[in-house]
Amino acid sequence: MAYLFNTPDDIQSMLETIGADSIETFFEQVPRHLQLDQPLDLPPGLSEPELEAHLRQLAAVNHGTSSRVCLMGAGVYDHFIPAAVDEIASRGEFYTAYTPYQAEASQGSLQAFFEFQTLICQLTGMDVSNASLYEGGTALSEAVFMAMRITGRHNRVLVLGSLHPEYQQVLETYLRNFDCQLDVIATPDGVADVDIVSQALDSETCCLVIQQPNVFGAIENLESLCQAAHEVGALAITSFDPISLGLLKSPAACGTDIAVAEGQSLGIPAQYGGPYLGILTCRQKHVRQMPGRLIGQTVDRNGRRCFVLNLQAREQHIRREKATSNICTNQGLLAVRATIYLALLGRQGLLDVAQLCCQKAHYAADRLGELPGLELMFQQPFFKEFTLKCQGDATEWIDRAAAAGFDLGPDLARFPRLRESLGDDADQTLLVAVTEQRTREEIDRLVQSFASVSTHSDTPQSLGKPA
Amino acid sequence: MDSSTLRYARSHEWLQLDGTTATIGITDFAVAALTDLVYVELPELGRSLAAGEIFGEVESVKAVSDLYAPVAGEVIEINTGLPDDLDALGEDPFGRGWLIKLAVTDASAADALFDEAAYRDHCQSAGH
């Protein structure tokens, strides 16, 4: 894509075209009291070497996953990213954030998104995937809106207490100005009790929102939960972990109507708040209620294969307030990364990654659970992540591990929405996620660092914070 | 069907009354304005509709339009073959392209709708 200059000459010529003789005259239309009548309060400019040194200094304060051992969970994970992902995704042709507005002019991008949709459908077993949304939380909220439109039920959403609390928070924000009740079913056992969920579902409920594996890492009885939703005519929405599908039964096979995900695990580095990748898939019969961009394959007038945007008539630039969503773009660059990642791994590769995660996570859980002062919070099957209950304050254990070079967590006390499920244990619980990147040696060292503490004292509360 | 015997809604639906049963479709004018049709969604049997209520939608390559009930009533029949045969709607909107039949709540409500001449004026004056 061409770089667009903004030289003084360009500015002058634009000003002349619109009949303003200076930037100041141009801004006169802004009321006087709203104009800043002094220069911006910024430090003086830096030379290039000074700037580079300054940025290097700032960057050195960060601790990335390459310099430390990351066992952090709750939605973002330290999976391996093959070098080819960066190499291909950083090609100039792909290096743009969105579908261009003249979408069909970018056949290469559209083809990549079409491949993305195909791979995501193969992964989930669902009929249709869109070309991606911003991230997991908004994808989930869009799925709930879809369910409202499909069922015609706009007044009640049922959510499991084992849903990621930040996804729930995003959903609450989306629903704030609607006359819609959001009910949460607490999950004190770490997974939902299907009978309790069944009792809570009624003919007003538009959907049941499930996360698989859930925020505690535990595996829900997805099939029964979907069935319970269907019994009252509600849709089942599942937020899944893409990597887990190397081992777990697919959302489609379990009866999910709309499956969504945070796609960060698919070749996207862990970074402050994103950018990440929203995945949204559904059944064919619901495709017309699906938000976002949908790429289709067709032939041009010469019979050659080409790619187009489908169902555009439902997007906001045409259908205004009745559009399926006010998001009508996709997370293009990151969808390309996920496409490359999945294509590189293939079916067997994904299965291998999932198996490694699962085996290593179970090894870590066994070893950590044996330590005095630590135990597994829930006796439930899990995939790559589990909840530890600590003697004393969980944050002290996290700090202790951090001092030894291991990042665990987060502690679950930081999520007020989880208190209903965790009760008084909330302050004592933390998440541990183990990806294929972790080695037995790393896990043993972590256990060792805790064990050496335990032998010195039986009361972790008395431990000082690491310097 | 003879378009001169029909009643018309401002939103481009037509209605033919037979006793208390109303057959409802969209007009040739609406079909022409939409261009190539790709999808139509019709209501469930037995659904009860208020006058002016949205009962479905029709989608073309250019736009999606809601379908409005010209009068109140209960859906007693649906042109079930239509979603798979949109040409019927494109080619014969007053005949094979009918959408639904309603058991109307109040047959006299149809009197408030346009007759053909008034509807054609409406199409012209609306600047279509």
| List of chain B residues whose C-beta atoms are within 8 Å of the C-beta of residue A318 | 62-64
Q: Give the residue numbers spanning the domain of B104.
A: 3-125
Q: What is the CA radius of gyration of chain B?
A: 13
CB–CB of B63 and A314 under 8 A?
A: no
Smallest CA–CA distance, residue B63 to chain A, in Å, is: 5
Looking at chain A, which residue has its C-alpha nearest residue B66?
A322
Alpha-carbon distance of A73 to A241, in angstroms, equals 12
Alpha-carbon distance of B7 to B113, in angstroms, equals 6
From first to last of its 128 residues, what are the pLDDT tens digits of chain B?
677 789 999 999 999 999 999 999 999 999 999 989 999 999 999 999 999 999 999 999 888 899 999 999 999 999 999 999 999 999 999 999 999 999 999 989 888 999 999 999 999 886 65
Question: Which domains does chain A possess?
Answer: 69-80+347-462 (3.90.1150.10), 83-339 (3.40.640.10)
Half-sphere exposure of A75 (CA within 13 A, CB side): 24
CB–CB of A288 and B66 under 8 A?
A: no
CATH number of the domain enclosing B46? 2.40.50.100
Over residues A239-262, the mean pLDDT reads 98
CB–CB of A319 and B63 under 8 A?
A: yes
Among A288, A290, A320, most B C-beta atoms within 10 A, so best to mutate, is A288
Alpha-carbon distance of B24 to B94, in angstroms, equals 9
- Cα B88–chain centre separation: 14
The token duo for A304 is 């050659």
Count of the separate structural domains present in chain B: 1
**pLDDT band with cut points at 50, 70 and 90 for residue A13:** very high
| pTM of the entire predicted model | 0.86
Looking at chain B, which residue has its C-alpha nearest residue A286?
B41
Smallest CA–CA distance, residue B62 to chain A, in Å, is: 6
Scan for tokens 């736009």, then name that residue: B63
Looking at chain B, which residue has its C-alpha nearest residue A313?
B63
Convert the pLDDT of each residue in A99-127 to its tens digit: 666 788 889 999 999 999 999 999 999 99
| List of chain B residues whose C-beta atoms are within 8 Å of the C-beta of residue A314 | 59, 64
Convert the pLDDT of each residue in A271-301 to its tens digit: 877 899 999 999 999 999 999 889 999 999 9
Interface contacts (A, B; CB < 8 Å): 18
| List of chain B residues whose C-beta atoms are within 8 Å of the C-beta of residue A316 | none
Which of B41, B64, B66 minimises the CB distance to A313?
Answer: B64
Smallest CA–CA distance, residue B111 to chain A, in Å, is: 31
CB–CB of A313 and B63 under 8 A?
A: yes
Q: Is A92 left (phi over 0), alpha (psi -120 to 50) or beta?
A: alpha
Convert the pLDDT of each residue in A157-210 to its tens digit: 999 999 999 999 999 999 999 999 999 999 999 999 999 999 999 999 999 999
CB–CB of A322 and B61 under 8 A?
A: no
- Whether residue A77 contacts residue A270, with contact meaning beta carbons closer than 8 Å, is answered with yes
Indicate whether A464 pLDDT > 50. Answer: no
* Max CA pair span of chain A: 80
CB–CB of A313 and B59 under 8 A?
A: yes
Residue A314's pLDDT is 79
- Cα B68–chain centre separation: 8
| List of chain A residues whose C-beta atoms are within 8 Å of the C-beta of residue B60 | 313
**pLDDT band with cut points at 50, 70 and 90 for residue A459:** very low
CA angle (A220, A226, A228) in 5-degree steps: 105
